[in-house]
RNA sequence: GGCCCCUUCGACUAGCGGUUAGGUCACCACCCUUUCAAGGUGGCGGCACGAGUUCGAAUCUCGUAGGGGUCACCA
């Protein structure tokens, strides 16, 4: 049997990390077994529908490398892949179930339902439909329709006795008493199906063999099972993944209010898709050999659902950033890194003479950045000559005037401008002055960067090049003696972003 | 509240009857070092609890507790 899985997001807002998470496992599971991965859009809630969101879901999947084999974008043999375009299919199947007595029309008004719910709450009874329309005869139903009691809905006629048992591949048998299964609405009065109906019909028609979805669906699985059986269809295998959790005390289900759940937002913050995938791959799953760094291909190679753990994993930003940092400094090639960083630098208004200069900069900056965006503040002084000096730097400059004057001369005379020569020059000079390295290098750092923390001076001097170095020392010296023409108090942020007034 | 699921360091996890309970993030210390990182070394810290099964339980069973999910004309 060939494996078919699917991700079925609802386009109602920002592309969600939960979609990415479940999408990842569906994708990997399908590919592991040489099967197909389908992207289906569940847009049956026209109140919350958002066309922009749908586009962004497609983009997210591509960005993450979770490319579906069938989708609204690329089509496929079992389309359409947007549920809003499958209304006739649902209607036909729903009517079949009415015919066979598994679904029944319900004419109850919203007011009655509301009242019923309040009454149940007041009496502390279990909530749910009371079956008022459950046993209407055909004649009575017809009379209701004739009396203009439309629109009406179609409800599931859940068995009142016995139990519904199904198997979760990770948890084993799960049983529900049928009396606990409510007569839920399957077809809404606007002609759209609810999740349960649409999901079952589509999964069957699209040949889905394995339903990997979040644990929150376990309680509605018996409804789905009842539907499969009512249709006379084989059930797929159910695999319920643990729920991603908020990092709060209780570890509640991941939510927008407590955590940034937008994949787009992480992308904009400079998180790499590889890092996000890798991070998500470690949530509730582990490599057989304990490896923590792996890509999609590795995960496909080693994947098995037996290694899924069921405790809900907390979505920990710190660990995500750690993964991202590892990709930035150790896993991506310098050239690859450059391509990823460029859009962020360009957006900040930076430009550079040549590619090699950029590569050099990234090489010495990459162990200091956890996200792509951090290259912008960290790299500010590489791209502008008119940076300001922060308070620390100003103090260092004032204390180091003599050293700067000497070094300006020394560097001007330096013939071979490479790291070794620079290193020698500095060491010789420091020795000649009989002072600590810091006494000399801190003012120099201030002069070259405007800040008091930076990469190694030798690297910096080498990467900046002789011209810039001399120019900057000169500028610093004139600042010391005269103050810069625009020597206004600078906010630290101004330095960070590279913006100079 | 009913029903369902879950439970190993603060977080992510390894473990699937016999281990000094291992690794990673975070945190702390030290080393390296001109500063900031990175890196190296070490440290802190855990089997929710109680019974039972067994020669032997983190691992199996039951109970208790705790947490989560779900009870919509949302998915």
Which residues from the 280-299 window of protein chain A have CB within 7 angstroms of nucleic acid chain B?
282-286, 290, 292
Structure tokens at A501: 């007034």
Strand nucleotide closest to residue A44 (CA to C1')? B75
ipTM over 0.90: yes
Q: Cis omega (within 30 of 0) on the bond before A239? A: no
Position A323 in a domain: no
Position A115 in a domain: yes
A421-451 pLDDT, tens digit each: 999 999 999 999 989 999 999 999 999 999 9
> How many Å from the CA of A457 to C1' of B31?
21
Contact A347, A325 (CB under 8 A): no
CA distances, A354 to each of A286, A306, A338, A357 (Å):
43, 51, 12, 6
Residue A307 CB in 7 A reach of strand B: yes
Query: In terms of domains, do A392 and A455 share one?
Result: yes
Query: In terms of domains, do A137 and A179 share one?
Result: yes
**Confidence at residue A1, expressed as pLDDT on a 0 to 100 scale:** 64
Residue A498 pLDDT greater than 80, yes or no: no
Residue A490 pLDDT greater than 50, yes or no: no
Query: In terms of domains, do A105 and A157 share one?
Result: yes
Residue A485 pLDDT greater than 60, yes or no: no
Position A212 in a domain: yes
Strand nucleotide closest to residue A168 (CA to C1')? B5
A230-246 pLDDT, tens digit each: 999 999 999 999 999 99
Q: Choose between A164 and A249: higher pLDDT.
A: A164
A70-125 pLDDT, tens digit each: 999 999 999 899 999 999 999 999 999 999 999 999 998 888 888 888 888 887 77
Position A403 in a domain: yes
Residue A180 CB in 7 A reach of strand B: yes
Query: In terms of domains, do A103 and A130 share one?
Result: yes
Query: In terms of domains, do A393 and A439 share one?
Result: yes
Residue A497 CB in 7 A reach of strand B: no
Contact A65, A280 (CB under 8 A): no
Distance (Å, whole) CA A419 – CA A114: 78
Among residues of chain A, what percentage have pLDDT more than 70? 95
Q: Residue A392 sits in a domain of what CATH number?
A: 1.10.10.350
Domain that holds residue A466: 363-482
Q: Which of A187, A213, A231 is the last residue of a domain?
A: A187
Instruction: Report chain A's mean pLDDT, rounded to a whole number.
Output: 92
Strand B bases within 7 angstroms of protein beta carbons: 1-8, 10-16, 22-26, 33-38, 67-75
Instruction: Give the list of residues 6+ apart from residue A102 with CB closer than 8 angstroms, or none.
Output: A156, A157, A226, A227, A230
Which residues from the 415-444 window of protein chain A have CB within 7 angstroms of nucleic acid chain B?
436-438, 441-442
Three-state secondary structure call for residue A494: helix
Under the banding of pLDDT at 50, 70 and 90, the label for residue A142 is confident
Distance (Å, whole) CA A193 – CA A164: 23
Q: Is A177 a catalytic residue?
A: no
Beta-carbon count within 10 A of A434 CB: 7
Distance (Å, whole) CA A429 – CA A443: 14
């Amino acid at each position: 049997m060939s494996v078919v899985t699917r991700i079925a997001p609802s386009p109602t807002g920002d592309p969600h990390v939960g979609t990415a998470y479940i999408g990842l496992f569906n994708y990997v599971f399908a590919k592991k077994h040489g099967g197909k991965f389908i992207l289906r859009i569940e847009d049956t809630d026209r109140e919350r529908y958002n066309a922009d969101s749908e586009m962004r879901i497609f983009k997210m999947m591509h960005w993450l490398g979770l490319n579906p084999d069938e989708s609204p974008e690329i089509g496929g043999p079992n389309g359409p892949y947007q549920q809003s375009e499958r209304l006739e299919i649902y209607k036909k199947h729903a009517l079949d179930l009415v015919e066979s007595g598994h679904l029944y029309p319900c004419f109850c008004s919203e007011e009655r339902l509301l009242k019923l719910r309040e009454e149940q709450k007041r009496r502390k009874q279990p909530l749910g439909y009371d079956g008022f329309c459950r046993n209407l005869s055909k004649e009575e139903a017809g009379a209701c329709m004739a009396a203009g009691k439309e629109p009406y809905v179609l409800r599931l006629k859940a068995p009142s006795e016995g139990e519904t048992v199904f198997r979760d591949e990770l948890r084993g048998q799960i049983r529900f008493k049928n009396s606990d299964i409510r007569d839920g609405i399957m077809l809404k009065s606007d002609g759209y199906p609810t999740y349960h109906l649409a999901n079952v019909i589509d999964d069957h028609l699209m040949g889905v063999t394995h339903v990997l979805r979040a644990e929150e669906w376990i309680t509605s699985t018996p409804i789905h099972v009842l539907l499969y059986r009512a249709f006379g269809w084989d059930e797929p295998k159910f695999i319920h993944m643990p729920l991603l959790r908020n990092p709060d005390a209780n570890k509640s289900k991941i939510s927008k209010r407590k955590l940034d759940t937008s994949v787009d937002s992480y992308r904009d913050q400079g998180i790499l898709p590889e890092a996000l995938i890798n991070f998500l791959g470690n949530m509730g799953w582990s490599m057989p050999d304990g490896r923590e760094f792996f890509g999609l291909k590795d995960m496909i190679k080693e994947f098995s659902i037996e290694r899924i753990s069921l405790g809900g994993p907390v979505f920990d930003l710190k660990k995500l950033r750690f993964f991202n940092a590892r990709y930035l400094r150790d896993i991506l090639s310098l050239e690859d890194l450059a391509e990823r960083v460029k859009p962020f630098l360009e957006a900040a208004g930076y430009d550079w003479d040549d590619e090699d200069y950029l590569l050099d900069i990234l090489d010495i900056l990459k162990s200091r950045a956890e996200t792509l965006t951090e290259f912008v503040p960290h790299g500010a002084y590489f791209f502008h000559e008119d940076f300001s000096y922060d308070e620390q730097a100003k103090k260092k400059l004032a204390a180091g005037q003599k050293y700067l004057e000497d070094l300006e001369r020394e560097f001007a005379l330096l013939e071979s401008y490479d790291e070794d020569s620079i290193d020698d020059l500095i060491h010789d000079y420091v020795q000649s002055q009989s002072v600590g390295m810091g006494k000399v290098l801190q003012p120099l750092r201030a002069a070259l960067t405007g800040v008091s923390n930076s990469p190694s001076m030798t690297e910096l001097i080498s990467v900046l090049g002789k011209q810039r170095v001399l120019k900057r020392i000169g500028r610093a010296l004139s600042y010391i003696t005269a103050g810069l023409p625009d020597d206004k108090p600078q906010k630290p942020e101004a330095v960070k972003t590279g913006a100079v007034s």
